[in-house]
Amino acid sequence: MIYDFTFQRRFSKIKLNETIARKILNVEEDAPEWIIKNNYLKLAKKYHPDINRGSDELFKDINTAYLILTKKEFDVENAQFLTLNSDEIAEIEKESVIKKPKEKSYYDFWKNRFF
């Protein structure tokens, strides 16, 4: 039997890009789309190249992060962030691996299941 490990690499790359996008837009993993959009609009207004000279690359990164998180016909796997170097990306990847999901109580489990 032949195993295809490219799917695992692709999935981890997509997950890493989503983590970086969440860090750029400063949103939690379970944040609704309106919070993502609100943070995007704040950052886009602050770092727009017409207002803030020399922030072209950062503005492009903000747009890329928004497109990744809203998944509007965007190639998440091949996304590139212009302002991050490989050391910063490795640091973000290490942080995302260390984070453990919150343990939910018995009450939260049933509340989320029915309400």
- Summarize pLDDT for 59-84 with one digit per residue, the tens: 988 988 898 888 877 777 777 888 88
Phi, psi of 69 (to 5 degrees): -75, -25
Residue 5's pLDDT is 64
Three-class SS of residue 99?
coil
* pTM of the predicted protein model: 0.72
Contacts of 26 (CB under 8 A, 6+ apart): 39
Residue 109's pLDDT is 66
Number of Cβ within a 10 Å radius of residue 81? 22
Alpha carbons 32 and 112: distance in angstroms, whole number = 15
Higher pLDDT, 42 or 1: 42
Alpha carbons 47 and 58: distance in angstroms, whole number = 7
Residue 101's pLDDT is 56
